[in-house]
Chains A and B, each alone.
Chain A
Amino acid sequence: MALLFDSLPYMLLFPAVWLLYQFIPDNRRWLVLLLASVSFYAALKAPLLVVAWALVVVVSYYCGLAIARQGDEPRKRRILWGGIAANFGVLCSIKYLRVIVEMWTPAPVAEARWSDLFVTLGVSYYTLQAVSYLADIYLETLEPERHFGRFALYLGFFPKMLQGPIERGGDLLPQLKSPYRCNYDNVRSGMLLFAWGLFKKVAVANRLAIYVTAVYRDVHGYGGITLMLATYLYAIQILADFSGYTDMALGVARMFNIRLTQNFNAPYLATSIADFWRRWHISFSRWILDYIFKPLQMEWRNWKNVGVAGALLVTFLFSGLWHGVSWNFVVWGLLHGLFLSASVFWKPWQTRMWEKIGLHNHPLRRLVQVLVTFNLVSFAWIFFRAGSLNDGFYVATHLFSGVGSYLVAVASHLGHLTQLKYLWDPILMEKGLRSFVLLTVSVMIMVLGNVLKKRIRIDHQPAWIRWPLYCTFLVALCYLSIYDDVGFVYFQF
């Protein structure tokens, strides 16, 4: 069984690693974390993954040292490009091995014989991290790490190994060298963060997945209301799933006094698509911004806004392809690229429009912008989630089919809605009222928890407030959790 955050073996083994860490001298602590990281990765039972990771570590370590040592600019650039090519070579070989094998062997046979070789967990994340490390050394914003073991740990630190955050060398490497003193506050807040992430995953994302999967598995079998609702539910599911994982990763790391990058900042409160990308998968959007968008933007700066729009399109096309070589992800990436490119031209007009109608500084402006952004993002998620491009286009073009007649029916039966099963079916999706109520309660707890987290530090409250809250939360976690082997959405990338 894979050692995933929400699995029992992980929850048993992690405390053992943490306890061992307490009794090891500072100069050997990196070794405990590195061995734990390799063990966790090896437990995925995909030997090729460990080999690929080791290859990326060795190549990046020596390329980093060589770039820093080299004084001649053209040679320096050649080493950088060599390192980047090697890292992307590893990434592409692992990710497209299945496609290559299936060119020669029928898919079911290939799956039965070599399924272990087709596991790609974590590769996309640590290869991007390795590329950022080399680029930062080349740009002279980072000194190379000279300790091989610590460098290997930087790329393979187990909490962030499988799904990020994609850490910059300047942020994580110094923390791996800091002397460790057990910090009770960090242990407590780390455990709380882990538990909160677990709730988001097992009580919210897994519960939402039941509805979303049922609809997206057979999109032709549902009407507009259900397709629309499933799309909004997916928007919440993917946030709960990915930010849940991130919270667990951050929580585990914090117990070792290591602060990983916060990957989410209320992304559905973004007032524009650009703002959304400053709040969603922050470590990845920083990466594509710094290493793809900015160089292209500078290269094409004489074309002014057209150059910026072109750079945005290319950047988000890469973002789509990074998620997977399928037309679905290409369309999803291009949609975001188009939204952002359009905003380059539209933004001055938008500002003038709000000034003209006198709502430039009105809260209504923010509300409208949040709603429009959320709907654009949700629309793009359709292609991210759909099983095929055809399914994606079907959902996108049938979101409103039957919605008018449904609303008329609701309006004309307002007095006795509860008795009309055919009006509830498109919303309940044949899962029953109880299941829908539990889903709503889970989502409400997540929303409420996020609001509370911003306003008060629960771990700083007196015991008579903390302990009833902990107990209520544990009961909610046990009662609302669903463990049915629903993997994390972002593991596939």
Chain B
Amino acid sequence: MISNELKQAVLEALKLDDWEFADETTAAQVPGWDSLSHVNVILAVEKKFGVRFKNLEVLKLKNVGDLQRLLDSKLEHRS
């Protein structure tokens, strides 16, 4: 399940009005989420939630569900 905060961060980074995200949604399915804009999405999520992902963690992401789980684990470790 993708949280509303994560969804907003991604939408803002991609300058999209709205998009339905599911766990299985991949970058290629979202308009404007290409290899060049991928870094903006990651930066926007890091900034919004005050976390820092390792490069390897980002490279292993396969879909938005993976991103949500990675974010949750970071937030859990922080609290």
Contact = CB atoms under 8 A, between A and B. Distances in A.
Interface in A286-323: 289, 293-295, 297-299, 301, 304, 307-308
Contacts of A289: 35
Contact of A294 (B38, B43, B62): B38
Contact of A298 (B34, B36, B39, B62): B39
Interface string B24-43: 00000000001110110011
Given A139-B60, A140-B60, A295-B55, A301 B42 contact: yes
Nearest to B53: A298
B59 interface: yes
A301 B35 CA distance: 13
A139 B36 contact: no
Contacts of B39: 297-298, 301, 304, 307-308
6 closest residue pairs by CB, A with B: A298-B55, A301-B39, A297-B39, A298-B58, A139-B60, A289-B35
B43 to A, nearest CB: 6
Interface of B: 34-36, 38-39, 42-43, 55-56, 58-60, 62
Contacts of A297: 35, 38-39
Given A295-B55, A308-B36, A301 B43 contact: yes
Nearest to B43: A301
Contacts of A274: 34, 36
Contacts of A301: 39, 42-43
A141 interface: yes
Contact of B35 (A140, A293, A299, A307): A293
A344 interface: yes
Interface residues of A, number: 16
Contacts of A294: 35, 38, 59
A297 B34 CA distance: 13
B59 to A, nearest CB: 6
A298 B42 contact: yes
A299 B59 CA distance: 11
Interface in A188-210: none
23 contacts: A139-B56, A139-B59, A141-B60, A141-B62, A274-B34, A274-B36, A289-B35, A293-B35, A294-B35, A294-B38, A297-B35, A297-B38, A297-B39, A298-B39, A298-B42, A298-B58, A299-B55, A301-B39, A301-B42, A301-B43, A307-B39, A308-B36, A308-B39
B69 to A, nearest CB: 14
A170 B44 CA distance: 31
Contacts of A139: 56, 59-60
Contact of B43 (A293, A295, A299, A304): A304
Contacts of A308: 36, 39
A481 to B, nearest CB: 39
